[in-house]
């Protein structure tokens, strides 16, 4: 009888243990199931959020870059090019036309004077105005600046040979033509009496011998240089 009761108790214990094991397995399965389901939901929810945020950032960056580029282009279009200033000699007490003194570029020997009337040119064989003053000299003689000034041009002309143009201030611009060589270049400042070159020939006046062809303009108009060089030494 005692043995029979013991077997019954053992069977009950086995069943109870089996029930507990089954319950644990079921609980573990439920936990795994819900955990996996929740993780899947989280992934599904998070993915669109990430895409939206990235898209918004890209849109913001693109908009900023477009705005910056548009602003830069607008500024560039409104900027006006800087006007290039003409190089000119400033006026001073020492170089004001009609009020200063001047030096002759060679000697005071004038071989041909200024004339707006037609005169015969034996080299060209025709009649033409001579809007310049010719100073006689010998080939190779030094030619000097009649006053302080700024060299604005050094060039060769088919009619007048090698020329040096100097702005002597007060809108008084002089061309020294018929040079054999030039010792100055564009942009140089010269003082009165400085050598600017040596005497050569004037192609269109070669029949008149070696001389300096000195022409001038005052305020853009041809003028007799000797009228401006009212005081010389």
pLDDT at 57 over 70: no
pLDDT at 89 over 80: no
Q: What was the pLDDT predicted at 99?
A: 55
- In this prediction, residue 82 has a pLDDT band, given cuts at 50, 70 and 90, of very low
* DSSP state for residue 79 in the 8-state scheme: P
pLDDT at 207 over 50: yes
- Span 131-169, pLDDT tens digits: 999 999 999 999 999 999 999 999 999 999 999 999 998
Block residue for tokens 């006026």: 91
As given in the structure block, the two tokens for residue 82 are 């800087």
| Percentage of the chain lying above the pLDDT 70 cut | 60
User: DSSP 3-state helix, strand, coil percentages of the chain (rounded to 5)?
Assistant: 35, 30, 35
Please state, in angstroms and rounded to a whole number, the distance separating the CA atoms of residues 121 and 128: 7
Q: 148 or 46, which is more confident?
A: 148
Q: 16 or 162, which is more confident?
A: 162
pLDDT at 107 over 70: yes
Q: 103 or 61, which is more confident?
A: 103
As given in the structure block, the two tokens for residue 189 are 């400042």
Q: 69 or 43, which is more confident?
A: 69
As given in the structure block, the two tokens for residue 140 are 């190779």
Mean pLDDT of the chain: 75
As given in the structure block, the two tokens for residue 21 are 């094991």
Euclidean distance between the first and the last CA atom of the chain, given in angstroms as a whole number: 163
Average pLDDT over residues 21-28: 73
């Amino acid at each position: 009888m005692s043995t029979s009761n013991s077997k019954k108790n053992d069977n009950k214990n086995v069943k109870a243990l089996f029930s507990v094991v089954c319950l644990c397995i079921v609980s573990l399965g439920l936990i795994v199931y819900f955990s996996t389901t929740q993780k899947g939901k989280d992934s599904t929810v998070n993915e669109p959020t990430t895409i939206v945020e990235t898209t918004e950032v890209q849109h913001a960056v693109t908009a900023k870059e477009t705005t910056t580029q548009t602003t830069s282009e607008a500024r560039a279009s409104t900027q006006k090019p800087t006007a290039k200033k003409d190089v000119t000699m400033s006026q001073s007490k020492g170089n004001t036309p009609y009020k200063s003194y001047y030096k002759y570029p060679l000697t005071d020997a004038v071989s041909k004077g200024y004339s707006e009337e037609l005169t015969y040119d034996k080299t060209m064989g025709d009649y033409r105005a001579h809007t310049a003053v010719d100073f006689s000299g010998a080939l190779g003689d030094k030619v000097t600046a009649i006053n302080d000034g700024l060299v604005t041009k050094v060039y060769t002309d088919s009619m007048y040979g090698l020329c040096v143009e100097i702005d002597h201030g007060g809108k008084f611009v002089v061309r020294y033509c018929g040079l054999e060589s030039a010792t100055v270049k564009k942009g140089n400042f010269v003082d009165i009496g400085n050598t600017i070159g040596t005497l050569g020939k004037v192609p269109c006046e070669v029949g008149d011998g070696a001389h300096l062809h000195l022409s001038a303009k005052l305020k853009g108009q041809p003028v007799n240089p000797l009228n401006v060089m009212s005081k010389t030494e």
